[in-house]
Structure 1
Amino acid sequence: MSKESRKKLIVQFITFNIVGLLNTAVDFLMFTALIWFGAYYLLAQVVAYSAGMINSFVLNSRYTFSKSNHTSSDTKKLGMSVRFIVWNGILLGVTLLLLAALTQWWGLNHLVAKVIVTGVTVLLNFYGSKKWVFTTNGTQAESS
Structure 2
Amino acid sequence: MLDNFPRGTICIEDIEFGMTRSLRKVITDRDIELFAEVSTDRNPVHLDESYAQDTIFQGRIAHGMLTAGLISAVIGEQLPGHGTVYLGQTLKFLAPVRPGDLVLAEVTVTDIIHAKRRVALECKCTVGDTVVLKGDAMVLAPSRKFD
Q: Please, what TM-score do these two structures have when normalized by structure 1? A: 0.36
Which of the two has greater strand per residue? 2
Q: Which has the higher helix share?
A: 1
